[in-house]
A and B are shown apart, each in its own frame.
Chain A
């Protein structure tokens, strides 16, 4: 009976997320975009760049390039999980039904994580299967595969945290896209080595995607697992902060 009681908000959040049409569109976009970009990335390699199967390219990493695009869908999904409630005022109904606020946030995070992990796994596995079919000497590995799925899940949680903190969909999405895309762009294009060095280690992206590397690991600015750890720390830290704000603020 008690277990049933504890699972009730989880069930409620699952129903809410499941019944938003945008959820399924975004999950479809996650799989389609990840696969499409992955295919575009490996197509030239498969065609001509490495004849005779002696590729210098990190083909595993290359085949998972689509995660760069797919993470936007995850971010938006995470933002809308909370942002949609603030946008429509449903949040008051939610909090009336489950007054313990941390339980609301934890339930949302759990449902979101499970859903994006499932969608992410589908997207990543599809990319790998495609690469396996197209590339001659393709050797998929567990770490990049698992890491990419975790990365997508963490990005969704990051979106949830940002939306809870800002209580505004557009603001959360803009900030989130800035973290996911603008920071990595600056990391590469910024002419200052000092800032490049700092950003490579302390910004969630592209540090997290070092998890996809299978070659020249010693040359990476940050090792694969610690890299993913940076993103995990951001997601967890912001979610915690969001939880504190969510508890103390008026709905």
Chain B
């Protein structure tokens, strides 16, 4: 028999008061708590270190296997960009101010292929006949209307009239350093396309008719690589009403092939057919090939120094997911929410901690990896002038390094947010890998338009941030996913990933508030 000694308290006791001072649970304290949580699980620190080491190591392995024998000397435009500068040029020198006018009456292919959309016929003012010298040109194209282009990397679109269907009047005026391009349908009513300033233009420049057409490109793609064959692409353009106002020293027009038409073409298959210029009754007929554009085909040694990020990202995904799914798995999340009932603040603190930790570790890894890889690549033949120096603290290298660290960090936060929604590490890790990595693999397998679309709308777009060579959309370059080309600009690519991460965080915030813990 048990005798209970319990009795109701005879008097109402004084309620207890905590002896600790109530300190406001502010956000910095929450950060401190989450950071302590992160730091006190040794496996997570090891994963972070492993991520950094793997990033550096794979980057280095990849760089050490890349060798170049140098290749032909690259041509650089006035701003240092590697360029293609070869075209048929019918020209006269012009000293001082003046203007040149002509009507382009036709542009058609001179071989059995269809005319290239980026074939160019028009007027140019060029500081010399040397390849890579500064210039400004008004150009009629078959597929992209009338353009004013200058110094290779600048382009302004005029009207979209196609030179293959209607003749087009063009005019280029020089006043000091200023060059102004005009176009007209009838030679009477002129509209200005663009007004540009070319600094350092000499007093005497070469002025005249220009014809260029990039080679035709055939792409055969299969997983694991693609072959591109380019060739042919000769074009013929006709001009009339050619007039030059200003001081010109020689009367007759002379014709020159600026540069080799196809600098990389292996002989004899793509041997350069003769370019010609004929004049009949004031009608000039130019036949030739080549292109005046940034060269987008060469290896990008900035991008080549970030291969390890593809491996590092995997660790960051696991880390971001486990930082929160580990709490759900063991019910620890209830302790967390009991200590801090403001769940959104907890989510914000977790996001901040995992974002900062992965950014710092990622930044260290990619900076070291980049520096080592650059020096290895230099030793393997990737040297100036074909491959100029890209110092770490200057763009584009700085942008690529910071962007890669941001990419690693955003992906970790994305995994964290997906982890909050799914509350399961396997699901979160697999989902994020499929969002970030799988689209790239599928882009190798998918037909080109679908592949490019995939790299625009999935978080994989963010890898564009590693590109060192700026991609210009006014060139005929084939942007192939397997060549490491991403259709979006670095900034926009990273923004796509940031948008996914933000959306996932919003969803996480919504579920974490709405659901019982």
- Among the listed stretches A105-113, A148-156, A191-199, which one makes contact with chain B, having 4 or more residues with CB under 8 Å of it? A191-199
B438 interface hit (Cβ, 8 Å): yes
A-B residue pairs, 10 tightest by C-beta: A192-B65, A194-B65, A170-B425, A174-B318, A191-B66, A192-B66, A191-B304, A177-B433, A195-B65, A181-B437
Contact A170 B64 (CB under 8 A): no
Q: How far is the CA of A65 from the CA of B451 in the complex (A)?
A: 13
Query: With A62-B445, A170-B429, A181-B437 given, can you name 6 additional A-B contacts, CB distance below 8 Å?
Result: A41-B445, A62-B447, A76-B426, A169-B426, A174-B429, A192-B66
Interface size of B by CB at 8 A reads: 45
- Among the listed stretches B55-63, B285-293, B383-391, B487-495, which one makes contact with chain A, having 4 or more residues with CB under 8 Å of it? B55-63
Contact B442 A65 (CB under 8 A): yes
Q: Which of A43, A173, A178, A209 contacts B311 (CB 8 A)?
A: A178
A200-226 residues with Cβ-Cβ distance < 8 A to B are 200, 206, 209, 213, 216, 219, 221
Report A215-242 CB contacts with B as 1/0, cut-off 8 Å: 0100101000000000000000000000
Contact B318 A170 (CB under 8 A): yes
| B310, B433, B445, most chain A CB atoms within 10 A | B445
Contact A221 B429 (CB under 8 A): no
Contact A177 B311 (CB under 8 A): no
Tell me the smallest distance from the CB of B299 to a CB of chain A, in Å. 6
Contact B307 A190 (CB under 8 A): yes
A10 interface hit (Cβ, 8 Å): no
Contacts of A20 in B (CB 8 A): none
Contact B314 A49 (CB under 8 A): no
Summarize A's interface: helix, strand, loop or mixed. helix
Tell me the smallest distance from the CB of A44 to a CB of chain B, in Å. 5
A250 interface hit (Cβ, 8 Å): no
Q: Which of B430, B442, B447 contacts A45 (CB 8 A)?
A: B447
- Among the listed stretches B167-175, B218-226, B499-507, which one makes contact with chain A, having 4 or more residues with CB under 8 Å of it? B218-226
Take A40-B450, A79-B426 as given contacts and tell me if A190 and B65 are in contact as well, using a CB distance cutoff of 8 Å.
Answer: yes
Tell me the smallest distance from the CB of A171 to a CB of chain B, in Å. 8
Contact A209 B223 (CB under 8 A): yes
Contacts of B441 in A (CB 8 A): 68, 181, 184-185, 188
Tell me the smallest distance from the CB of A205 to a CB of chain B, in Å. 9
A137 interface hit (Cβ, 8 Å): no
Tell me the smallest distance from the CB of A36 to a CB of chain B, in Å. 11
Tell me the smallest distance from the CB of A55 to a CB of chain B, in Å. 10
B117 interface hit (Cβ, 8 Å): no
Contacts of A83 in B (CB 8 A): 426
Contact A44 B450 (CB under 8 A): yes
Contact A182 B314 (CB under 8 A): yes
List residues of chain A with CB under 8 Å of any chain B CB: 37, 40-41, 43-45, 49, 56-58, 61-62, 65, 68-69, 72, 75-76, 79-80, 83, 87, 169-171, 173-174, 177-178, 181-182, 184-195, 200, 206, 209, 213, 216, 219, 221
Tell me the smallest distance from the CB of B408 to a CB of chain A, in Å. 14
Q: How far is the CA of A178 from the CA of B436 in the complex (A)?
A: 12
| A37, A41, A87, A185, most chain B CB atoms within 10 A | A185
B259 interface hit (Cβ, 8 Å): no
| B64, B318, B321, most chain A CB atoms within 10 A | B318
Tell me the smallest distance from the CB of A202 to a CB of chain B, in Å. 14
Report B314-344 CB contacts with A as 1/0, cut-off 8 Å: 1101100110010001000000000000000
Contact A182 B437 (CB under 8 A): yes
Q: How far is the CA of A211 from the CA of B426 in the complex (A)?
A: 28
Q: Which of B65, B307, B438, B447 contacts A181 (CB 8 A)?
A: B438
Q: How far is the CA of A4 from the CA of B64 in the complex (A)?
A: 59
Contacts of B438 in A (CB 8 A): 68-69, 72, 181
Q: How far is the CA of A187 from the CA of B58 in the complex (A)?
A: 12
- In the complex, the chain B residue whose C-beta lies closest to that of A55 is B447
Q: Which of A43, A49, A76, A188 contacts B224 (CB 8 A)?
A: A188
B72 interface hit (Cβ, 8 Å): no
Q: Which of A56, A173, A186, A192 contacts B430 (CB 8 A)?
A: A173
Contacts of A178 in B (CB 8 A): 311, 314
Contacts of B35 in A (CB 8 A): none
B441-483 residues with Cβ-Cβ distance < 8 A to A are 441-442, 444-447, 449-450, 482
Q: Which of B58, B322, B440 contacts A170 (CB 8 A)?
A: B322
Contact A65 B322 (CB under 8 A): no
B434 interface hit (Cβ, 8 Å): yes
Q: How far is the CA of A84 from the CA of B440 in the complex (A)?
A: 30
B484 interface hit (Cβ, 8 Å): yes
Tell me the smallest distance from the CB of B189 to a CB of chain A, in Å. 39
Contacts of A75 in B (CB 8 A): 430
Q: How far is the CA of A44 from the CA of B430 in the complex (A)?
A: 27
| B62, B220, B223, B482, most chain A CB atoms within 10 A | B223
Contact B449 A44 (CB under 8 A): yes
- In the complex, the chain B residue whose C-beta lies closest to that of A186 is B310
Q: Which of A40, A58, A188, A190 contacts B444 (CB 8 A)?
A: A188
Cβ contacts A to B, 11 pairs, < 8 Å: A65-B446, A80-B426, A169-B426, A170-B426, A171-B318, A182-B313, A182-B314, A185-B441, A188-B444, A191-B65, A195-B61
Tell me the smallest distance from the CB of B71 to a CB of chain A, in Å. 14
Contact A40 B446 (CB under 8 A): yes
Contact B224 A72 (CB under 8 A): no
Q: How far is the CA of A195 from the CA of B311 in the complex (A)?
A: 15
Contacts of A56 in B (CB 8 A): 220
Q: Which of B307, B313, B322, B433 contacts A189 (CB 8 A)?
A: B307
| B64, B315, B434, B441, most chain A CB atoms within 10 A | B441
- In the complex, the chain A residue whose C-beta lies closest to that of B481 is A188
Q: Which of A68, A187, A191 contacts B442 (CB 8 A)?
A: A68
Take A181-B433, A191-B304 as given contacts and tell me if A221 and B447 are in contact as well, using a CB distance cutoff of 8 Å.
Answer: no
Q: How far is the CA of A195 from the CA of B310 in the complex (A)?
A: 15
- In the complex, the chain A residue whose C-beta lies closest to that of B223 is A206
Q: How far is the CA of A247 from the CA of B399 in the complex (A)?
A: 51
Q: How far is the CA of A164 from the CA of B239 in the complex (A)?
A: 76
Contacts of B433 in A (CB 8 A): 72, 177, 181
Q: How far is the CA of A58 from the CA of B66 in the complex (A)?
A: 30
